Structure 1
C-alpha cells in the first residue's frame, strides 16, 4: 500500500468514525432533533436505538485490527443506513441540506472501504 493510499484511508476512516460515532450517540440519547426527524420521516422512535447501537458497533469493527469479514459487514451496514437516509429524505420531499450529511458519510464509507489496507481486506480465494 502506498503512503498516499494509507493517508487517504486513515483520513476517510477517522472522519467516518467520528461521523458515525457522533450520530450514533445522538440517536442513542434520543435528542429532540433526532426524534423530530424520525417522526418527520415516518419511522418509529425506537429505531433510533437500533441504528445508534449498530453505528457504534460498526465503528468498533472498522477500527479494530483483524476481523476483515466483520469490517465488510460494517461497511455494508454504513452504506445501507446512509443510502436509506438519503432515500427517506427524498421520499418526504426534504431539501438538499438534509442530504448533505448522509451523502458525505456514504462518500467517506466508500473511500475508507476502497483504500483499506490488505490486512483489513477479505482475501478472495480462487
Structure 2
C-alpha cells in the first residue's frame, strides 16, 4: 500500500468514525431535532437507539485490526444506513441540505472501504484452479 493510499484511508476512516459516533450520540440521547426529523421521515423513535448502537459497533469493527469479515459487514451496514437515509429524505421531498450529511458519510464509507489495507480485506480463494 502506498503512503498516499494509506493517508487517504486513514483520513476517510477517521472522519467516517467521527461522523458515525457523533450521529450515534445524537440518536442515542434522542435530541429533540433528531426525534423531529425521524418523525418527519415516518420512522418509529425506537429506531434511533438501534441505529446508534449499530453505528458504535460498526465504528469499533472498522477501527480494530483483524476481523475482515466483520469489517465487511460494518461497511455494508454503513452503506445501507446512509443510502437509506438519503432515499428517505428524497421520498418525503426534503431539500439537499437534509441529505448532505448522509451523502458525505456514504462517500466516506466508500472511500474508506476502497482504500483499506490488504490486511483489512477478505482474501478470496479460487478453488476452480
Q: Shift of residue 54 of structure 1?
A: 0.1
Normalising by the residue count of structure 1, what TM-score does the alignment of the two structures yield? 0.99
In our comparison, the structure showing a higher alpha carbon Rg is: 2
Tell me what 1:51 maps to: 51
Tell me the C-alpha RMSD between the 2 structures.
Answer: 0.4
Q: Does 1:74 align with 2:62?
A: no
Normalising by the residue count of structure 2, what TM-score does the alignment of the two structures yield? 0.97
Q: Shift of residue 99 of structure 1?
A: 1.2
Runs of 4+ in 1 over 3 A off after TM superposition: none
Tell me what 1:117 maps to: 117
Q: Distance in 1 between matches of 2:73 and 2:108?
A: 16
Q: Distance in 2 between matches of 1:31 and 1:44?
A: 14
Tell me what 2:41 maps to: 41
Q: Distance in 2 between matches of 1:43 and 1:51?
A: 12
Count of paired positions = 126
Q: Distance in 2 between matches of 1:125 and 1:28?
A: 40
Matches within 5 A, 1:70-109: 70-109=70-109
Structure 1 residue runs of 5 or longer lacking an equivalent are: none
Structure 2 residue runs of 5 or longer lacking an equivalent are: none
Tell me what 2:29 maps to: 29
